[in-house]
Amino acid sequence: MKIMLLIGDITTGGGAERVVVNLANALKEAGHEIHILSFYKKNKTIAYNLNENIRVNFLHQKSQKQVKNIFFKLYYKHYESYILKQKYKNIDIMIYNNCSHFPFFKNKNTKYINLIHLNFKKYKKRNNFFDHLVILSDKQIDKWKKYHKNIHVIPNFIPFISQKESNYKQKNILSIGRMVCNDEKGFLRLIEIWKLIHKKYQDWTLTLVGEGELKYLIQEKIKENHLKNIILKPFTKEIEQEYLNASIYLMCSYYEGFPMVLIEASSYALPLLAFDIHTGPKDIIEDQKSGFLIQDGNLKDFAQKLCILMDNENLRKTMGKKAKEKIKKEFSKEVIMQKWEKLFTNLNTF
Whether 285 and 314 share a structural domain: yes
274 membership: H or E segment, kind and range: strand 272-275
CATH number for the domain harbouring residue 274: 3.40.50.2000
For the residues of 194-244, what is the DSSP string, one character each? HHHHTTTTTT-EEEEE--STTHHHHHHHHHHTT-TTEEEE---S--HHHHH
Query: Is the residue at 162 inside a domain?
Result: no
Whether 251 and 126 share a structural domain: no
Whether 215 and 325 share a structural domain: yes
pTM summary value: 0.80
Output 56 or 101, whichever has higher pLDDT.
56
Output 235 or 2, whichever has higher pLDDT.
2
Question: In the chain, what percentage of residues exceed pLDDT 70?
Answer: 94
Query: Is the residue at 283 inside a domain?
Result: yes
Query: Is the residue at 93 inside a domain?
Result: yes
**What pLDDT does 42 receive?**
87
* pLDDT tens digits along 279-315: 889 999 999 999 999 999 999 999 999 999 999 999 9
| Total tally of structural domains belonging to the chain | 2
Whether 177 and 229 share a structural domain: yes
The parent domain of residue 220 ranges over: 172-330
Whether 145 and 275 share a structural domain: no
Residue 80 has pLDDT above 80, yes or no: no
Residue 208 has pLDDT above 80, yes or no: yes
Mean pLDDT of 10-19: 84
Query: Is the residue at 165 inside a domain?
Result: no
Whether 8 and 76 share a structural domain: yes
E strand map for 119-214: 132-135, 151-153, 172-176, 205-209
Residue 264 has pLDDT above 80, yes or no: yes
Q: What is the mean pLDDT of the chain?
A: 91
Whether 114 and 205 share a structural domain: no
**What pLDDT does 214 receive?**
96
